[in-house]
Structures are given as C-alpha cells and as structure tokens.
C-alpha cells in the first residue's frame, strides 16, 4: 500500500486494510481506533483519506451523494478522492470522504487509490454490471442447488452438477466442489454415499464395473457365417454340457467312446479370425464379465447363439480326444473339427446320474487322472463358494455344494488342457501355457481354517509361451483351451490349432506373448470388477435383511479379533472379541452395521 503521509494528524480518517480508522496518537507506531478497539500499526500500513478532525468512528454514518452526476462529468478520466467527494457532496469532510471511498471500493463506477481514482467508461460499466448480475444469479442458483441437496430433493436441472459427483464416485476425477460444499470426503465411496442419499443413484446401484472401466454392453459387430468345411460326425455320441443352473454360454461338453474320452469345445476360431474386428475387441476385453446383474460377453451375442454347445440341435466343435490308462496318463491324443449333439445338464442333475452310463464311465476315467494329479502334488482348496444373482429384483445367494459332478467336469477340462498343451509342444506350436509355481509354505489341510491359511501361500496362475509346470493342478504341461467363448487366451489356443488344422501360418511366439499380455491386462479389471460387485450385492443382501442370522467359522486368530468365514455367503470378516476362540470354532452371528459404499459390514457374536 502506498504511503502519502508518513505521520497523518491525530483525529484524521485513515484506511486500514479495507476498514475505516481514526488516528488516536503518534509515535514510533501509530495508534488507531477501529470498530473493535485500538491497535498500534506502522505508518505504511494505513492510507490517509481525510486529515480530520474525526472525533469518533460513530460519525461515519451512511450518506447519499450525487455520484451519478459526478460520474457523468468525469467519465473516462482520472480524479482524486477530494475532487470526487466535492462533486458528489459539495463538501469534503471525513464523513463524505468515507462515503465516497465506499463507492470507489465498490469498483463499478470508480476504482483506484485516493490520489488516483479512475472513472470507468460506460462500456466497461455495462459489461461489468452484466457480469456481476450473472455471477449473482449463478450464486443464487448454486445456493438453491445446495439447499436441494441438503434436503435430498434433487430436480432434473441438478443432473449436470451431480454428474461431477458421479465422476468422482467412479474414480474419474479426484475433487468435487459439490462434495466439498456439502462436507463430504473427496473419495469414491463418499461420493457414492452422497449420490444415494439424494436419490441420484438407487441404493442398489453397483458402481464397481464403471470404476474399473470395463465395457457394460456386448460388442455390436457383424458375425460371419460358419464356413462350409469337413467335420467329424460325433452326433451319435451322448455329449453333456454340465454347468451351473442358468448358465448362458455353454462352451464345453464331454462324451465317451469306448475307452476314449472326448472333450468338445465351441469352435469359436471358426468364426473369429486373428486380427479381425471381433478378435481385436475380444482381446481388449480379455474375458466375459460375470456380474450378479448379468453377463457382459467379450464376443457378440450372435457368436454364442451359433456356437454355444446345446443351444442348437447340432453344434460345431473343436474336439479333443485321448485315452487315460490305469496310472492316469494320457495317450493317443487327437484333435479335430466336429459336429456334436449336446444335452445341457446342471451339476445337481448330473450328480444324480453319475451311477448311470455313460456318466459313470466318464467318472471312472477322470478319477484315474485325478489320482495321478494328487500323487504329483495337486492341491485342492475346498473353500466355500456361492452363486450370486439378481433375478427380478431379488438377490439370490446360493451356496455351491461340493459335488462329484463338479470334480468330473474339472478333471475332464484339465485333461483337455494337458492334452492340448502336449500336442502343441509336439507340433512346436506357440500358445499361452498356464503355469503356476508351487506354494512357498503352509501345509496340506482338510479343515476350513487350515485351507484358509494355506491359500495365502498359493501363487497366481501366469500365462507364458514357455511350457512350464502348473503346480496347483499337479501337471507338468497345461493350457486353458475349454472356454473360448469366455476367455481370450483360450481363443488364442483355438486360433493356433485351427491354423495347424487348415495348414495356415500360425501366429509367432512374439505375437502370442503380446496378445495374451494385452488380454491378461484387461482381465485384471474384469476380475476386480467381479470381486467388488459380488461384495456389493452380498452387503446389499445383508442390508436388506437386517434380521439375518447365520453361522461363521473361525479361520484366523488376531489380537483382540478373530477372522471369520461365513460359508453361506462365502464372506470373510473380522470380529472383535474379548473371549478366547479356537480355530474352526463355529459362531452364531448377527448383523450390526452395513456400509455398502465402503464395502464393510460389522457382525456381532450371539451369546
């Protein structure tokens, strides 16, 4: 601030920051009177407005002057506080000087310092007034919006502002003015909570897929017709596509022909050529997205309609045949294009028919294979699992029971994976092998707590162009080849096999590595979306059923806490307790609090 008088006289009117002040006394510092009391300041901290005398700040009462006349006379020029005051009031006193300075400070018609006041032009004033009116209207609109949000009564016009909050809830931005104004934390879960509270999102809204950026609609691309080519006719064999009830993309089936087991897989590579538009889209997605609300396919729906085994009276397949000796070793591996007639069967229905032919024969073959795997160190963690689906608005959580039919299908698919991997090695055909290092600790266990602890030592399955063991399966060679409708890496294997069968040039090892890597990266987002979406719907189920009661099993002991697994929900939780607990102890639980946005739930132990 400029200093025009080092020592303003006592009783003069000065400006301290933006407030009027009266000089009380002079010295090394100047004592001034403010509306709240006296203060000692440096000379450079104040600006002289009038030399006085001003006996009290109470004298500075509002005044009405001829400011418009003064402005018209001086428009576009420069003046001083004294000249402007005399034009507006015909007198320059502390009271009129302060009234004039308030007009200058308002900044519409005049601006500047006491000794150099700029008089605004008409064009500037009209523009400034319009801007101020617009700003005032915007502030009124903002305050009305805040009031509606506080009352949780949004209107259609609030959607653009709430879109900002939605973007933060989806992890697309890190700051929202709306959340800040309403005193919410700048976090996705807090934004979700706010959107639910005001009714912009329903309490059931699942944000997790959008948070991870995964597509939420099937690809909309033209699908070619199935080529007219020679296929082996297996329609005389009973073939069973065994899967969970309600499955919509059956891509594998099993049949037996004498001592030879056949695993038939949807012949997706017959329609999806490498680097076609559908192939590139599938690669970018990586896999199907399985949500409780429904399935988002990596391939156009028309592909599943044409190729899903059992969806048509006769289905085209890529069939893998092999024999399995008494020691569980595979031999006489055969791969061919085929026609199959498939019956779709649920795991529960297949369980009731395992003693019947031909399922009994299949079971005997896969049991020999399983015995070999177990002897080779295969590990099976039989932790609770559930199916979560939202059907006609109802959240259905169904525990998946341990069934021999599931074991039959799993082993048949592992047999196919080993057979294909071995054949590709023999043919020097590059494919993405599924590999897994052995656990680096833990011991085999059959109880729930033991298996829960053992899980921590397991290494993830990796895709590699090098044929290495898959420790968890007990196999020296393995690839995933039975789900080309669901996983891009399986489709890659099929495309390589088709290139061999049709005597075309297969993809190089480098191409396989790049494509499987791209798909694997996309699959990470898919799996996270599925995991958090499942948790979302589990917690909604508990929130909507506050009287829920159930059993939990203690699977871990921590300081003042126990880790509990709830089998009927496949839900892990931690519960505070002062009592000593034992591993595998069964507890009766009830729900205390559920926070869907934070994906947290608190249980209490019933006495």
If 0-12 CB within 10 Å is exposed, 13-18 middle and 19+ buried, where does residue 330 land?
middle
Q: Which domains does the chain have, with CATH numbers?
A: 13-122 (no CATH), 126-201 (1.10.10.10), 232-536 (no CATH), 545-605 (2.40.50.140)
Cα(first)–Cα(last) distance of the chain, in Å?
74
Mean pLDDT estimate for the chain = 94
- Percentages of the chain per state (helix, strand, coil), in multiples of 5: 35, 25, 40
For residue 2, the model assigns a pLDDT of 41
Q: What is the pLDDT of residues 517-571, one digit of tens each?
A: 999 999 999 999 999 999 999 999 999 999 999 999 999 999 889 999 999 999 9
- Measure Cα distances from 189 to 424, 450, 598 in Å: 47, 34, 6
When pLDDT is cut at 50, 70 and 90, the band that residue 579 belongs to is confident
- Measure Cα distances from 207 to 5, 42, 396 in Å: 65, 59, 19
For residue 442, the model assigns a pLDDT of 65
For residue 115, the model assigns a pLDDT of 93
- Identify whether 257 is preceded by a cis peptide bond (ω within 30 of 0): no
Coil vs helix vs strand at 131: helix
When pLDDT is cut at 50, 70 and 90, the band that residue 456 belongs to is confident
For residue 3, the model assigns a pLDDT of 42
For residue 226, the model assigns a pLDDT of 94
Residue 428 falls in which region: left (phi positive, over 0), alpha (psi -120 to 50) or beta? left
For residue 5, the model assigns a pLDDT of 47
User: What is the average per-residue pLDDT within 326-345?
Assistant: 97
- pTM equals 0.83
Dist CA 526 CA 145 (whole Å) = 37
Locate 515 and state its tokens.
């494509």
Phi then psi for residue 436, to 5 deg, are: -150, 130
When pLDDT is cut at 50, 70 and 90, the band that residue 113 belongs to is very high
Q: What is the pLDDT of residues 279-328, one digit of tens each?
A: 999 999 999 999 999 999 999 999 999 999 999 999 999 999 999 999 99
463: Cβ contacts below 8 Å, ≥ 6 apart: 432, 433, 434, 435, 489, 516, 517, 520
User: What is the average per-residue pLDDT within 258-277?
Assistant: 97
For residue 6, the model assigns a pLDDT of 61
């Amino acid at each position: 601030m400029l200093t025009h008088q080092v020592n303003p006289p006592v009783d003069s009117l000065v400006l301290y920051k933006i407030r009027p002040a009266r000089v009380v006394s002079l010295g090394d510092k100047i004592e001034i009177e403010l509306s709240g009391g006296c203060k000692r300041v440096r000379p450079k901290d104040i600006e002289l407005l009038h030399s006085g005398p001003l006996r009290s700040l109470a004298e500075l009462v509002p005044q009405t002057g001829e400011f418009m006349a003064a402005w018209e006379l001086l428009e576009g020029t420069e003046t001083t506080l004294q000249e402007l005051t005399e034009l507006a009031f015909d007198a320059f006193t502390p009271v009129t000087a302060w009234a004039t300075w308030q007009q200058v400070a308002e900044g519409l018609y005049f601006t500047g310092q006491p000794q150099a006041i700029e008089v605004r032009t008409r064009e500037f004033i009209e523009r400034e007034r319009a801007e101020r009116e617009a700003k005032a209207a915007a502030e009124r609109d903002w305050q009305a919006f805040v009031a509606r949000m506080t009352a949780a009564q949004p209107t259609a016009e609030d959607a653009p502002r709430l879109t900002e909050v939605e973007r933060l809830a989806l992890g697309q931005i890190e700051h929202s003015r709306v959340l800040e104004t309403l005193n919410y934390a700048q976090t996705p879960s807090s934004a979700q909570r706010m959107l639910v509270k005001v009714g912009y999102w329903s309490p059931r809204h699942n944000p997790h897929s959008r948070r991870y950026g995964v597509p939420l609609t099937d690809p909309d691309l033209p699908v070619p017709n199935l080529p007219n080519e020679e296929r082996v006719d297996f329609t005389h064999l009973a073939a069973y596509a065994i899967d969970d009830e309600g499955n919509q993309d059956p891509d594998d089936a099993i049949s037996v022909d004498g001592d030879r087991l056949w695993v038939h897989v949807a012949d997706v590579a017959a329609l999806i050529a490498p680097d076609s538009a559908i192939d590139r889209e599938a690669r970018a997605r990586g896999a199907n997205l399985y949500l409780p609300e429904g399935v988002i396919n990596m391939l156009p729906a028309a592909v599943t309609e044409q190729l899903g085994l059992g969806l048509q009276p006769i289905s085209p397949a890529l069939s893998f045949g092999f024999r399995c000796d008494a020691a569980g070793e595979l031999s006489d591996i055969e791969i061919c294009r085929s026609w199959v007639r498939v019956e779709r069967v649920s795991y529960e229905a297949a369980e009731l028919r395992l003693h019947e032919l031909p399922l009994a024969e299949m079971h005997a073959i896969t049991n020999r294979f399983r015995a070999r795997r177990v002897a080779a160190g295969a590990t099976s963690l039989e932790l609770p699992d559930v199916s979560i689906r939202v059907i006609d608005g109802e959240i259905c959580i169904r525990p998946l029971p341990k069934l021999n039919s599931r074991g039959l299908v799993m082993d048949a698919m592992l047999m196919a994976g080993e057979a294909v991997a071995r054949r590709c090695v023999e043919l020097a055909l590059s494919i993405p092998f599924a590999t897994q290092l052995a656990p680096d600790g833990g011991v085999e266990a059959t109880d729930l707590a033991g298996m829960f602890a053992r899980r921590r030592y397991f290494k993830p399955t990796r895709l590699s162009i090098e044929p290495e063991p898959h420790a968890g399966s007990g196999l020296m060679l393995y690839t995933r080849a039975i789900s080309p409708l669901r996983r891009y890496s399986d489709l890659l294997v099929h495309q390589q096999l088709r290139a061999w069968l049709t005597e075309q040039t297969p993809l190089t090892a480098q191409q396989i590595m790049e494509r499987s890597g791209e798909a694997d990266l996309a699959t990470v987002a898919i799996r996270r979306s599925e995991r958090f979406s499942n948790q979302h719907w589990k917690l909604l189920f508990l929130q909507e059923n506050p009287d829920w009661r159930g059993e939990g099993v203690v699977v871990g002991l921590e300081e003042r806490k126990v880790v509990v697994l709830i089998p009927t929900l496949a839900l892990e939780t931690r519960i505070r307790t002062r009592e000593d607990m034992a591993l595998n102890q069964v507890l009766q639980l009830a729900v205390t609090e559920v926070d869907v946005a934070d994906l947290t739930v608190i249980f209490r132990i019933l006495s």
